[in-house]
Structure 1
């Protein structure tokens, strides 16, 4: 049995952020399915493994990928690009150089979308790169009436309230400024942001803000009309309690929260970005907008049309099943491991 070393640099990540996102969803699901085949998954090991799979390009990844004595193949997973961070040009340049240093040591770069693939092909021309969609446990994220009822009771949401939700960290990159403005335009609706600030560490938070473009948004900036849950574990329940999923993020390498909402059968409104059009089609399984006015029109359209909400939600679930089944993703990943180890 081959040992795969997933490098997420957990100690460093825990110091930098409390927003674990896909590290707590995608990674464990993939690992569980790999464990049922010819592979054993370990985390952040310095030695005693057969293949290095870098998920977080931090200090541990740099050290292991630059170990001149290593005899293991390396996979670099392009979960993030420089645009995944709300920073200025100077910081972006530094991120680009850092990503390039580590990714260049890999045998193959895996990217969750064609948009991310294009970025890394520009960064490292001629390098072996493959696009591999994120997969999720579709059954886990399916709609649950029971979860809907219990979640609404827990957060004081009335049965007759129409809830517009988003899942993500509080930042301009995630589009929370548009979310706030749309909530002000629609006071008759309940808006819910599932997530919080990226860190509780004051020093790190100040550091983030120093490098953020145009400043950034914090909890104190949110109006009382928006329910903020903070980071919670039961994302499927929060989605089940929602009537509309509004995802105005300005940049994603794929957007795991969007995939989870689709799997839950939520009618989706999202920013019109190429990365989302790779698996979503406006009018068929979602609505898309590019401005505050367009978002507002989409919100009103769905709020006033229950049949449209049901149709878009049903088609979103079908698209999630087609493109983001964790079993298909894990199967292909296992094949890539075997190809590198043979």
Structure 2
């Protein structure tokens, strides 16, 4: 069995959750000892397509003509396309029809959570849909004094300075507006948002929010990966994720794997795998402030339960689930 893992526009998507997800797929197949390629011109048994551009569509139908099996990864839904790029709400119904068309032509759809499975099924997709987490590399996010020092040096973190961090694209969907509003309510705390988006692809008010319309205790350093980012995950005081819509939220898994306290918006995607024992899930800015203060003051500590959630969704655990899905497709 040989799998084609396909990611169109890798340079553009490397900063996104989809970019992270395909790295996890590669790691999962390495663990399982399953042969794979990322070159669509090589021979393969199953095309596992992660993207939605014209090259992905061409690959879908070329694989079908060759008699190959196709798995589409349901990273995207109409719901998580909304409130992102300029015009996204206007085009969301068209995106839904397009995604439905692609998913219907696959032999199987893999999507990260039961929530996203329910959404995709509700579109009228009549092929099998299975929920398999994107997974998380536990070893990558363990405490490391060297990585934590790299983070502190890069950001000139002062002793006893409280740090609240987030990671995501510059989208309203990600809650970037509430991140800034909560920071305004906590001027004694330093807020750092990791990640970036081309400023000309997002609405003007978001662009202005990132460039100048934020208080002095908020920073947007852009896309940072490696030791500095991983050190921030363990050395910060709390991971604050006010996202309004996700299909899973890989950065939440990264925070949980980092033994980090998580404060997040209480949204349906967390149902069935992330509960109030492992993270603080609330809905209003006042509640966000209260929860963040509770963590910073040592009154809330859910790290142990959060770590167990990350362990249940480790790359090792999803590796066998992916292989089972591949064999199911080949057997059918």
TM-score, L = length of structure 2: 0.90
Map 1:243-258 onto structure 2 (within 5 A).
243-258=237-252
Secondary structure of the 1:297 match is helix
Whole-Å separation in 1 of the counterparts to 2:145 and 2:280: 24
Shift of 1:245: 0.7
Is the CA contact (8 Å cut-off) linking 2:31 and 2:316 kept in structure 1? no
Compared CA separation, residues 102 and 215, structure 1 to 2 (3 A): farther
Paired with 1:225 and 1:183, the residues of 2 have a C-alpha distance of 7
Structure 1 position 88, deviation (Å): 4.5
Q: Which residue of 2 aligns with 1:53?
A: 48
Q: In the aligned structure 1, how far is the partner of 2:31 from the partner of 2:88?
A: 44
Contact 1:46-1:64 at 8 Å conserved across structures: no
The answer for unaligned runs of 5 or more in structure 2 is: none
Aligned counterparts, 1:234-249, within 5 A = 234=226, 235-249=229-243
Q: How does 1:119-138 map to 2 (within 5 A)?
A: 119-138=119-138
- How much does 1:242 deviate? 0.5
Report the Cα offset of residue 313 of structure 1.
1.5
Residue 267 of structure 1 corresponds to 261
Matched-pair contact (CA < 8 Å) for 1:19–1:231: yes
User: C-alpha separation between the residues in 2 aligned to 1:82 and 1:340?
Assistant: 26
Distance change in 2, residues 1:133/1:181 (3 Å): same
Residues 205-237 of structure 1, C-alpha deviations (whole Å, 9 max, x = no match): 54x33xx5x953452133332122211112321
Partner of 1:293: 286
- TM-superposed CA distance for 1:48, in Å, is 1.9
SS of residue paired to 1:158: coil
What is the DSSP-based 3-state SS (H/G/I as helix, E as strand, rest coil) of the residue aligned with 2:329? helix
Q: Does 1:222 align with 2:222?
A: no
Equivalent residues of 1:172, 1:217 under 8 A apart: no
- Give the CA deviation at 1:281: 1.6
1:66 alignment partner, SS class? helix
Task: Confirm or deny that 1:336 pairs with 2:325.
Answer: yes
Shift of 1:59: 1.2
Alignment correspondent of 1:180: 180
Q: Distance in 2 between matches of 1:44 and 1:278?
A: 36
- Is the 8 Å Cα contact of residues 22 and 256 (structure 1) preserved in structure 2? no
Q: Distance in 1 between matches of 2:14 and 2:109?
A: 26
Following superposition, the deviation at residue 21 of structure 1 comes to 3.4
| 1:108-119 correspondence to structure 2 within 5 Å | 108-119=108-119
Seen in structure 2, the aligned counterparts of structure 1 residues 240 and 55 have a Cα distance that, compared at 3 Å, is same
Q: Secondary structure at the match of 2:274?
A: coil
- The two structures, once aligned, show a CA RMSD in angstroms of 2.0
Contact 1:3 1:42 in 2 (8 A): yes
Give the alignment partner of residue 296 of structure 2, picking from 287, 300, 303: 303
**Structure 1 unpaired stretches of 5+:** 200-204
CA deviation vs aligned residue, 1:151-183 (integer Å, no higher than 9, x gap): 112210112111111011122111111111111
Is the contact made by 2:168 and 2:194 (CA closer than 8 Å) also made in structure 1? yes
1:88-107 aligned at under 5 Å gives the runs 88-107=88-107
- Partner SS for 1:98: helix
